[in-house]
């Protein structure tokens, strides 16, 4: 296993292209889902220099905080609440350029300005987790993030229990 990541490139696309194979190598051969998620959160935060990156698990009628990197965050989110609860309810990726403009946005940190939230599915196609990525910069996320983070979600789904 690599001791540290080496993310190269100037553009966002180049950074993701460099990071993705390293994420793959990081989880290769390790069957433990939480261990893999934990390392992937670290790889994303430090590889892409995000403010906050984390997983929420679907547990009953709520999302419950899972492995993350960044400041402490809210523990539970209800269906349809905030960006995460909306992505869960609508089963789709949501990009928010300015969190203050998103009705019902849940502010875990006043430093977070924009975010992208992606739904995650288990091997049976059930939505069982959510990935939330936050930035201190307005409009930080675009179709490039969506494309590559959806690739990461596919990797995660493959090792989901």
Which residue ranges make up the site for ligand SME (CB under 6 A)? 52, 54, 73-74, 77, 82-84, 105-106, 108, 112, 115, 132, 134
Nearest position to ligand SME, beta carbon: 82
- Closest approach of Cβ 73 to ligand SME, in Å? 4
State how far the Cα of 128 lies from the Cα of 37, in Å rounded to an integer: 13
Nearer to ligand SME, 132 or 145 (CB): 132
- Closest approach of Cβ 81 to ligand SME, in Å? 7
Nearer to ligand SME, 122 or 136 (CB): 136
- Closest approach of Cβ 15 to ligand SME, in Å? 22
Fill in the DSSP letter of residue 100: G
Indicate the SS3 state at residue 68: strand
- Neighbour-count burial of 87, counting CB atoms closer than 10 A to its CB (0-12 exposed, 13-18 middle, 19+ buried): buried
State how far the Cα of 116 lies from the Cα of 6, in Å rounded to an integer: 24
């Amino acid at each position: 296993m690599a001791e540290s990541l080496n993310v190269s490139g100037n553009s966002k696309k180049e950074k993701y292209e460099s990071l993705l194979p390293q994420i793959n190598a990081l989880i290769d051969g390790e069957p433990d889902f939480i261990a893999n998620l934990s390392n992937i959160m670290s790889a994303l935060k430090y590889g892409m220099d995000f403010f906050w990156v984390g997983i929420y698990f679907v547990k009953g009628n709520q999302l419950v905080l899972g492995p993350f990197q960044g400041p402490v965050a809210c523990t539970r989110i209800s269906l349809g609440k905030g960006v995460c609860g909306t992505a869960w309810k609508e089963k789709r990726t949501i990009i928010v350029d300015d969190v203050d403009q998103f009705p019902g946005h849940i502010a875990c940190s006043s430093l977070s300005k924009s975010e992208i939230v992606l739904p995650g599915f288990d091997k049976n196609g059930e939505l069982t987790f959510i990935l939330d990525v936050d930035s201190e910069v307005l409009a930080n996320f675009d179709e490039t993030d969506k494309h590559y983070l959806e690739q990461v979600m596919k990797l995660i789904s493959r090792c989901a229990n």
